[in-house]
Chain A
């Protein structure tokens, strides 16, 4: 069982693995290379993963056998564990809690050599549909307050398996970065009576300069305040605080804009590693009307060093206004 601990100064929570602590020699110093050998996410290898939680399957096929399009399984090496009750306790000035949570893997395709940009629009839409289905299901568990859906693509982004997949983590508390975003957007809302993200979308669309793709319901752009070079955000134009409330007909549109955005990124940066993260509202029964869900795509091009860690200041060597040009010019 992992423990969660809270830094008393900055209120930052961390997860400490107390059961299987890594030994000093376990850490790799050099670049990660994907393991050879059979892939547990491939079609026909369903027995290699923990039992499946959910899947889109051809009619008449059984769980944990071939015949699926998108498949969700528990992480074999979870950061948090699903069983148990949440217990918080103190130790002098320190606060801690046990590491309850869910950690799931969404396998996006049965084929090992396909990435999200190789999928058809319908296939990519069913990945998004799966994100929503898992979010809706996990919300029923009263222990969880927040669901984070993210993807690590490439070794430099922290991926350990090559086969295209996303991850979902359900947490017993609202994480610090999310709290900060909520607090910031709430302050803006109280002051101006408007959603800050709606205002951002409006200003970006009006200025045009940093917009990559605009569809009926979504816009993808390089944010004015990017933290990383070639950072991209995808925002629904219509106000909505919960990602999982996306309408079914909009899923296909989101799939299209996500695919084209990632494809442009792939071509412009010759297939670099990236992380993408879905930022959405917590489900703690409070109203989060002032918040607006969105997707952040962060290519892993620079090494984050002492300055960034120490200050929370990020150095962006490519202005978003320059990055957008390469992305627009990319031949796809």
Chain B
């Protein structure tokens, strides 16, 4: 019962790290059974954060709490070494010990490996992760998915007070990844520990995250609900980081409060987008407020061979196909929108079947159709801040 209480404590802290020229500042708080996703491009500082929490690298300053214990505090001079921090740490390469069999790998972190209780724990985890048949095998005799299951069982065996997952499923195929995510969810329901997951896969962040923290160049840009952060991101830089394919700088031409929409125009482009509450209130200086950045996800766009004039979609744009690229599992189509000068590009994602049935080829004229509600307003950063690229 006492152990149970320890594991059901939030993990929180902050660190400042310096690795060569790279500076990192992060702060986190994760409730038991919750998954905090650290999301960002490679080199953003996600793994460094995990390593700092694990005590595998020493921060410049900071405070780290795991299982209700302070394991690091720069002001107090507290520093618990890695092996006293009660962690589970999972890496992309699994790092199963090659000279030990599956069962020996799982029991590696248990205090008395040959005791009856240790054997029971190994059995329990092998059952849960479907490893029963494999206990006498060596790691090289296992598939990638099985190896990651063993690594997960090994990390969970000593009942860690926190789980650190560093792109744990990145080298697995998508179906295996989905299965393992589900298993991880089941696992968390059984033993609710705080989890920090590093990924740059949007789908994974949405599937596993209870909250998402976007990190870039050692700084946290935003923390929040996965859908709020990754679905319709607020900041221009975040929009680019989380992969919003289409961003347009437009000017508001007309507001239609009765429809909750407004019309925005740009380079030969007219879009119906949701009315922004901030703009309706009419606060701030005039004129400046009329400039907006509109984002549309490539997967929210419907392509048609003819103008769908009789449809409810508020936005219909004509353009010429200038590129068709494979983007598994589907295809990415780039349209050059019809315009007199300096035309805008529009990226659309469609399935392979749609591509075949429509017979899309470069040079073809197509219509791009999407609802006003598929468009969202992006808060561009203030010009005083350094430009994102």
Do the two chains bind?
no
Residues of B in contact with A (beta carbons under 8 Å apart): none
